[in-house]
Amino acid sequence: MFKYSVSRYVSVFVFILIFAGSVRAEQDIRLLANTSPPYAGAGLPDQGLALELVRHIFTRTDYTPEITIENWSRAVEGARIGVYDALASVWYSPEREQDLLFSKPYLESDLILLKLRSNRRAYTSLDELAGGRLGVRRDYAYGVDFDGIPNLVQVEEDLLVSNLLNLLAGKVDFVIADQRTATMQLHELLNDKINQVQVMGIALPAVKRHIAAARAWPGHEAMIAAFDRALVSTQNDGSLQSIITKWNERYADVK
Q: Where are the domains of the chain?
A: 25-108+208-248, 111-199
Q: Which of 17-21, 158-162, 227-231 has the lowest mean pLDDT?
A: 17-21
User: What is the average per-residue pLDDT within 183-190?
Assistant: 92
Instruction: Identify which has the larger pLDDT, 58 or 77.
Output: 58
Contact between 67 and 90 (Cβ < 8 Å): no
Over 70: is that where the pLDDT of 19 sits?
no
- CA-closest candidate to residue 162, choices 143, 175, 149, 152: 175
Query: pLDDT tier at 254 (50, 70, 90 boundaries)?
Result: low
User: What is the average per-residue pLDDT within 14-18?
Assistant: 43
Half-sphere exposure of residue 31: CA atoms within 13 angstroms, side-chain side: 27
Contact between 155 and 172 (Cβ < 8 Å): yes
Q: What is the mean pLDDT of the chain?
A: 88
How do residues 111-153 score in pLDDT, each as one tens digit? Answer: 999 999 999 999 999 999 999 999 999 878 888 999 999 999 9
Query: CB neighbours (10 Å) of residue 204?
Result: 16
Residue 183: per-residue pLDDT? 92
User: What is the average per-residue pLDDT within 185-202?
Assistant: 94
Contact between 206 and 91 (Cβ < 8 Å): no
Which CATH code for domain 111-199?
3.40.190.10
How do residues 205-242 score in pLDDT, each as one tens digit? Answer: 999 999 999 998 999 999 999 999 999 999 999 999 99
Q: pTM of this prediction?
A: 0.80
Residue 238: per-residue pLDDT? 97
Residue 12: per-residue pLDDT? 42
Options 3.90.1150.10, 3.40.50.1100, 3.40.190.10, 3.40.50.300; CATH of 25-108+208-248: 3.40.190.10
Residue 237: per-residue pLDDT? 97
Query: pLDDT tier at 23 (50, 70, 90 boundaries)?
Result: very low
User: What is the average per-residue pLDDT within 166-181?
Assistant: 96
Does 111-199 match 25-108+208-248 at the fold level? Answer: yes
How do residues 38-71 score in pLDDT, each as one tens digit? Answer: 999 999 999 999 999 999 999 999 999 999 998 7
Close Cβ partners of 72 (under 8 Å, ≥ 6 residues apart): 34, 36, 138, 139, 158
Residue 2: per-residue pLDDT? 43
Query: CB neighbours (10 Å) of residue 124?
Result: 10
Residue 15: per-residue pLDDT? 45
Query: pLDDT tier at 252 (50, 70, 90 boundaries)?
Result: low
